[in-house]
Amino acid sequence: MFKNFEKIAVFLLVVTVVSLLVLSTGCEGQKESSGVEPSAKPSEEKAEEPKEETAARDKITVYFADSGAQYLVPFEYSVGSEEDKAAAVIDRIFSNEAPEGYLNVAPVDMKKPQVKIEGDTAVVDLDADTISFYPKGSTGENLFIYSIVNSLIDSTGVKSVKFTVGGKSVYVEGSNYDFSDAVFEYKEDIVKK
């Protein structure tokens, strides 16, 4: 009786080891052939892993508000290598499609601004006809401003961002900032750690 038990135990052990070897070899082969790496962030778009030298050119980082509307959280998106990254950042922020569990920072009724790069500064021109929808109150305004500022600086390599309204440097009624002379730099303390 014990001899049969020993034979069965050895047989099961051999079958288990062979099965594990076959499964692990099969999984490795599938992983290598897919070319897709799992995303580090749950709502991040998945894309084929770009070559090392083109990785920075094919990505943008866009900041959305956390669920408590207190901090900004960065999300990485793939873009075409020829795509205007500054315009892609503004498109993503004003699409009103925040990742699940996060909040849009751009007012729904505010028209998407134009953006252009001038040296080391990105100039964001807010639409004069929809400036009345500009967020009032320090928290909403800071999330709006620094979503744009941090996203443009991270994605395009500029050092600062300036805002204009209808092509002019002006004060926006109800704003905590005077756009006639304000230049914004990356703000780290608004980013959730």
Residue 123's H or E segment, with its range, is: strand 121-126
Is 30 inside any structural domain? no
8 lies in some domain: no
- The first and second tokens of residue 111, run together, are 């028209």
CB of 39 within 8 A of CB of 32? no
Read off the amino acid at residue 36. V
Name 23's Cβ contacts closer than 8 Å, sequence gap at least 6. none
Best mean pLDDT range from 9-13, 31-35, 73-77, 169-173 = 73-77
The CA distance from 50 to 61, in Å, is 16
DSSP symbols for 37-52: PPPSSTTSPP-BPPPG
Domain that residue 67 falls in: 54-184
- Predicted local confidence at residue 27, as pLDDT: 42
User: How far is 135 from 144, CA to CA, in rounded Å?
Assistant: 7
Render pLDDT for 44-103 as a digit per residue (tens, 0 to 9): 443 344 334 445 568 999 999 999 999 999 999 999 888 899 999 999 999 989 999 999
Residue 124 lies in a domain: yes
Write down the pTM of the prediction: 0.71
pLDDT of residue 24: 42
Q: Which residue has the tokens 């051999």?
A: 14
Please check whether residue 129 lies inside any domain of the structure.
yes
**Tell me, what's the pLDDT at 8?**
55
Specify the number of domains making up the chain: 1
